[in-house]
Chains A and B, each alone.
Chain A
């Protein structure tokens, strides 16, 4: 199955978004083989480099405003419960401009999937600090280094009520594909943070390739909230990828 469109891909060569695109297309193909109808898949995005992904996949799509990836998906789910809804959001999009929507969608446990392209930078606006940029980050608007502590997206969605919380790495599309498939199949609010190198403003390939490890290989208990919270704090030396947390809970749309 060909999922490409005729749009010209304008990401910088080597951008982490390619890894996410490939992982997602792979996941969609397999999901369709497993019985999900292609016509029921809708993808949405905000605005940013990440967001261009909706132009590059030949499925239903909703290219929203900056920060507004999530509410349209909620509206779609309530309008048609058969839809499989996946949103692609950037760290600026999701955790700066549109953070209230993330928290509330998690709290409601609406049955949608959010994939966060976390490159720790506003890339499309040429390199300013976002909510996830580390303290000291030198960007165009913080020449002396960012003075703010970064926000921890995994922890945020855990405490907000997300029922599927995972992390992938754009440099490991095979693993990411499996995570995305599980997230889409999960009934409820699923959140996948993707560590996404930006070759222009935050080239983290080398560092990440050395530090990420699959936490699920070592027998992490994914039903334990306390453990998930603890894992979400692991950054130094080793960064866990895989599923942090998953539980079953009634979804928002089931009430309608």
Chain B
């Protein structure tokens, strides 16, 4: 397993270079993981990415690097301590000087000038040099550049080749990296979740820009098979979405904590009016505006209780881009079958980090909605055994479809009669009882490994935990994926048998541990909590875990 760190100023194309280098390794059959770290600044400040690659699946980035590609001097300063013993630094020697051992200077600035390129292409020259030092066939990069920059391929290839040849003439090769398998695919959580929703028939996506959810809007806006809308604010987003769903369009919305806060009145509206809706909440760190481009898991309690009044609700928290695909697909279908709001809880680390995985198409679930043909006697809120009133949409002959935010009768007209009120409440909660049965067919939690000791974790923290336990014996990892309703019976069964339990999560108040206590009565005393807005790192986490599991 190796890690490359690429860094430079915002605007230097660090993210793009990271993606290219991940593609290099993916194309020759490696598994990769990319972490992007960037402050909330458009140009100038320090950005970096870490690309870890391995022959086996990896679930997290690693901090310590075998290669550091520095587009500016600050990158070297910030990341010097992370370079492994024989690690190599590749840097633009037209930008700064360094004469230390294994620091390889490439005249990237001059190469770009010579080829009449633009300054952002310095990273192409460095990547070219990297190809030589990492011992990878130059053709691999050439092919990728052709695909990535169809109109600028020639100049990019020329620049990369010059970097490659410069390295060949001046440096020692550090690795010999052979093709080990078929090209692999990698994707970030936001895109994978979007693909999952599209797979389940997503038709409309509505959002107001807010990091780290924004890239869902960008990704879907580029597709032809889904409508995307960017309204004036998040209140408009969610109420527009409710109108869209009411008119029969499978609709999803996305935001981060602040936008989600603005939506809460309407989430409760979706609950009482039984309008299907998927809401993606990608957490950023901290309360309020917080730390916009960094990660955290502190909105769990908020998303579990996001509205006034009582109404059925589903909250799902995938822990990897792969799970995001399945959960995205399930979320849309559950929302439409049970006619309720479904929240998919992500965070910056999951939304933005990419990982190699394959989708096993056989695992995609089909959950059918209960549709009605309508007709003269149609009742939008008809009482049924399972609480689900067959749904239809405006536009059907002889059919009147009335939905409302007020408590209502079967026909959707306001009521204040106490008997009717209770009956309608019971009907709505009957749906969730039925959904709890359906949960038996879904992957509502996942258990990894074997052992008497147990780590519980959720969301993106799963990745670092899975890497950390690779060198810890006698431990299993339990990840609840469905957080509401909570798969309490199964989780309780596992926890009761555990010798020692540690909860790992990205918040200050151990919200998952509280949820487990509430649902199982089991109190988890040992907690590893991180709330410095950065994601867990496997080696550091392993050290902490070993304190608990001696």
Contacts and interface: CB of A to CB of B under 8 A. Distances in A.
Contacts of A65: 239, 265-266, 269, 405
Contact of B236 (A42, A79, A104): A104
A68 B403 CA distance: 14
A72 interface: yes
B398 interface: yes
Interface string A28-72: 000000000101111010010000101100111111110110011
B437 interface: no
Contacts, number: 133
Contacts of B396: 39
B403 A63 contact: yes
Contacts of B235: 67-68, 71
**Most A-side CB within 10 Å, residue of B247, B269, B398:** B247
B311 interface: no
Interface in B233-284: 233, 235-237, 239-249, 251, 265-266, 269
Given A39-B397, A78-B249, A62 B243 contact: yes
Nearest to A41: B394
B540 to A, nearest CB: 46
**Most A-side CB within 10 Å, residue of B232, B240, B251:** B240
Given A60-B401, A60-B402, A256-B227, A82 B243 contact: no
A7 interface: yes
B429 interface: no
Contacts of B246: 62, 72, 75-76, 79
A53 B530 CA distance: 52
Nearest to B248: A79
Interface residues of B, number: 44
Interface residues of A, dominant DSSP: mixed
Contact of A74 (B203, B243, B402): B243
B11 interface: no
A211 interface: no
Contacts of B265: 65
B233 A100 contact: yes
A228 interface: no
A83 B247 contact: yes
A83 B266 CA distance: 23
A47 B411 CA distance: 19
A243 interface: no
B183 interface: no
Given A75-B242, A83-B394, A100-B236, A64 B231 contact: no
A39 B402 contact: no
Contacts of A7: 413-414
Interface of A: 5-7, 37, 39-42, 44, 47, 52, 54-55, 58-65, 67-68, 71-76, 78-80, 82-83, 100-101, 103-104, 256
10 contacts: A39-B394, A40-B395, A63-B414, A71-B243, A74-B243, A75-B204, A75-B243, A78-B204, A78-B249, A104-B232
Given A40-B395, A63-B405, A101-B236, 10 more contacts: A39-B394, A47-B405, A58-B400, A62-B403, A72-B239, A74-B240, A75-B241, A79-B247, A83-B395, A100-B233
